[in-house]
Amino acid sequence: MSSPTKPINVIVIGAGFAGLSTAISCHRAGLNVTIYERAPALQPLGDIISFGRNAGLIFARWDRALVDEMLPLSIDLRHHGFRIHKYTGEHVTTQHSVPRDMEAPTINGHRGELHLVLVRYVTERLGVELRLGCEVVSCFEGTPDGEGRAGIELASGEKVYGDVVIGCDGVHSKARELVLGHETKLQSSGYAIFRAWFDNKDIIADPLTRHLCENGDTFNGWIGPDVHFLVSSLKGGKDVCWVLTHKDDSNITDRWSFPGKLADVYKIFEGWDPICRRIVSKTPEDSLIDWKLIWQDPLPTWVSKGGHIALAGDSAHAFLPTSTQGATQALEDGVTIATCLKWAGRERIPEALRAFEKIRYDRVCKVQETGKTTRERWHKASWDEVERNPKSLELPREDWILGHDAEGHAEEMCERIFGDRSGNMRGESKI
């Protein structure tokens, strides 16, 4: 039934960044992987998303051509840096960009555009099967017929069997309750974001805002009590996007994205630098989104009882945007899962998934917390202190986060966990 050369059949639920990373990494490790995605077609949805250097390292290792394709879509701040202002308008400090590292570039760009680069890579370059329009309604493990050790059921009624199921189905995950055996409650983080993305036409036409786009990419922030406003221009100043994070006590957790109203944004700007209102006034109202920030305390586990189903990405852990690491940590999950499966082999799937959780859990929780600490540092800034130490408002660039090599680390850990027992990868005997 289980010849040692049979590849591990991996079922991935969801084609977000967690699912794509899991699929690419499993494919590279010689596993047989298929992705099941609910959306009938993948459109370039969303707006700004951040990938830290620790994600750039992963992309570059997969394929330098990916980096070549992504960098022109990414904000380039080598000339501008990040200019930070007090909400009343005073310039506080400019955080300079680190020199570009082609082995581990930072990539900040449009989520949909970057996502489609990866989707094309997965389907066209690697030939991994991505099945669209496949909503997973349940997953299970321990199939009695021996056809597989875990599987999923689609809305169509079709059942698919494999050796392992990875639930990469986002913050409103279905896989999560199946893994934990009960429903979990999402919480409101107490904050929401107004966000928008549009072309530079009206910004360029106004002499007061033209500087944001006319000489290439820019990034400016205004920090106020319990609010921050970030504005960037990208692709040589051609596109503009902004996000405004503010308190929101509506407690909505079932959906995150609603159409926004400009009038509600203007209310927040009372007493603010008039340029903020001016920038927002260029926003086509139909591009404005009211995005509720959902939080979830760390789950007790990401792995099912039987050890054949695991969660990755947002379904396992929610990130606040101020961590700027949500998508990057989703990539690190996928890389780690594939490394663990490769080392453990087909006969030790539960051990592989438990190793994945062990390798990732503490790091993820620590990075998650930085979303709160950065927000609080901005929102609760004491302006006397900021005057003495303007750099305290800079975005933290911590080496333990950004300098991390997820694959290298997973290889090292797996060698310790699995190396002495199997001495080889993919469960083949070396004798």
Ligand X SMILES: *[C@@H]1O[C@H](CO)[C@@H](O)[C@H](O)[C@H]1NC(C)=O
Choose which of 8, 15, 320, 352 interacts with ligand FAD (CB under 6 A): 15
- The β-bridge partners of 195 are 243, 289
| Near ligand FAD in 154-183, by CB under 6 A | 168-170, 174
Q: For ligand X, give the closer residue by CB, 29 or 196.
A: 29
Q: Give CA–CA dist 188/168, Å, rounded.
A: 21
How many other CB atoms are there within 10 angstroms of residue 116's CB atom?
A: 16
Smallest distance, ligand FAD to C-beta of residue 252, A: 16
The helix or strand, by DSSP H or E, that contains position 66, with its residue range, turns out to be: helix 64-70
Residue with tokens 């959902």: 294
Smallest distance, ligand FAD to C-beta of residue 45, A: 4
Indicate if the alpha-carbon torsion angle 176, 373, 74, 208 is positive or negative: positive
Cβ(168)–Cβ(312) below 8 Å:
yes
Which of the listed partners (ligand X, ligand FAD, none) does 251 bind, with a CB threshold of 5 to 8 Å by partner kind?
ligand X
| Near ligand FAD in 22-61, by CB under 6 A | 36-39, 45-49
Q: Give CA–CA dist 429/383, Å, rounded.
A: 64
Please name the residues in contact with 278: beta carbons below 8 A apart, sequence gap of 6 or more.
206, 208, 209
Which of the listed partners (ligand X, ligand FAD, none) does 306 bind, with a CB threshold of 5 to 8 Å by partner kind?
none
Smallest distance, ligand X to C-beta of residue 294, A: 13
CA 198 to chain centre: 22
Q: For ligand FAD, give the closer residue by CB, 162 or 170.
A: 170
At position 77, the amino acid (one-letter code) is L
Direct distance between the N- and C-terminal alpha carbons of the chain, in angstroms, rounded to an integer? 22
Q: Give CA–CA dist 327/18, Å, rounded.
A: 7
Which of the listed partners (ligand X, ligand FAD, none) does 34 bind, with a CB threshold of 5 to 8 Å by partner kind?
ligand X
Which of the listed partners (ligand FAD, ligand X, none) does 7 bind, with a CB threshold of 5 to 8 Å by partner kind?
ligand X
Q: Give CA–CA dist 42/39, Å, rounded.
A: 6
Indicate if the alpha-carbon torsion angle 267, 273, 278, 284 is positive or negative: negative
Q: Give CA–CA dist 82/284, Å, rounded.
A: 25
- The β-bridge partners of 289 are 195, 259
Q: For ligand FAD, give the closer residue by CB, 119 or 126.
A: 119
Smallest distance, ligand X to C-beta of residue 296, A: 14
Check binding of 326 to ligand FAD (CB under 6 A).
Answer: yes
Main-chain dihedrals φ then ψ at residue 290, nearest 5 degrees = -105, 110
Smallest distance, ligand X to C-beta of residue 148, A: 9
Q: How many residues sit close enough to ligand FAD to count as binding (CB under 6 A)?
A: 29
The helix or strand, by DSSP H or E, that contains position 350, with its residue range, turns out to be: helix 349-379
**What track of x and - describes contact with ligand FAD for positions 285 through 324 (by CB under 6 A)?**
----------------------------xx------x---
Q: For ligand FAD, give the closer residue by CB, 39 or 126.
A: 39
Q: For ligand X, give the closer residue by CB, 7 or 298.
A: 7
Q: For ligand FAD, give the closer residue by CB, 292 or 346.
A: 292
Smallest distance, ligand X to C-beta of residue 10, A: 8
Which of the listed partners (ligand FAD, ligand X, none) does 14 bind, with a CB threshold of 5 to 8 Å by partner kind?
ligand FAD
Q: For ligand FAD, give the closer residue by CB, 126 or 154.
A: 154
Applying CB under 6 A, the residues found at the interface with ligand X are 7, 9, 32, 34, 162, 249-251
Nearest CA-CA partner of 60 in 104, 21, 26: 104
Q: For ligand FAD, give the closer residue by CB, 297 or 385.
A: 297
Binding site for ligand FAD (CB under 6 A): 13-19, 36-39, 45-49, 111, 135-136, 168-170, 174, 313-314, 321, 326-327, 330
